[in-house]
Amino acid sequence: MKTIKLYELVSEGKKPIIKFNDNVYEWIEESVDPMMMGKIIGASIEYNEIKFLLDLNPFESYNRSVARHDWRDDEGHSVLSWFDTSFYPKNGIAAIYLPISEETEIAFDFIEEDSLLNEYAKVPQEISYVEWLENEVKQLRSK
């Protein structure tokens, strides 16, 4: 799914749960690690990027378990995780930025396997989410 399409869905009130993949470091620095999870709770367009607000609070204990200890301490040793630094947001809400025209898979995957939003994300977005939902309902009614 293109990031602009996800922006539109979030603007309509959708709050998907995501899991960061191994490509995350190519796009997002000084924050999340692969395998970390979060819930997108807001989005805005800033220049040529989309800023997604990510609620990490429901997943903090899990995220701590998969956090990489690649941050340096005062002595230069890579022993700290993001959680041990001043970069981790005190309120558990992080901002991530992705290019408008990129695919979301460059950094994360949707993890709600049984959600309708996840099904929609897997098909080419030539129609809006509402149109796609209406088509799904029409197909069910015709059976």
Task: Look at the chain and report how many structural domains it folds into.
Answer: 1
Residue 25 belongs to some domain of the structure: yes
**Residue 115, token pair as written in the block:** 């959600």
**pTM, rounded to two decimals:** 0.78
Three-point CA angle 119, 103, 51, nearest 5°: 105
> What is the pLDDT, as a whole number, of residue 114?
56
Asked if residue 131 belongs to a domain, the reply is no
Residue-by-residue pLDDT tens, the chain, 143 positions: 788 888 998 998 988 889 898 888 777 777 898 889 899 999 999 988 999 999 999 888 888 888 888 888 888 888 888 888 888 899 999 999 999 988 888 888 878 655 676 677 666 667 777 788 888 888 888 87
Q: What type of residue sits at position 79?
A: V
Give the residue numbers spanning the domain of 82: 3-112
pLDDT given at position 122: 64
Q: Distance between CA atoms of 86 and 93, rounded to whole angstroms?
A: 13
In a domain, 42, yes or no: yes
**Rounded-to-integer distance, Cα 66 and Cα 33, Å:** 8
Measured CA to CA, the distance from residue 136 to residue 31 in angstroms comes to 38
Q: What is the pLDDT of residue 123?
A: 64
> Is residue 138 one of the residues assigned to a domain?
no
* Domain assignment present for 30: yes
The whole-number pLDDT of residue 44 equals: 96
Residue 118 located in a structural domain: no
Supply the pLDDT for residue 81.
Answer: 84
Q: Does residue 140 lie in a domain region?
A: no
pLDDT tens profile 89-109: 999 999 999 999 888 888 888
Report yes or no on 66 lying in a domain: yes
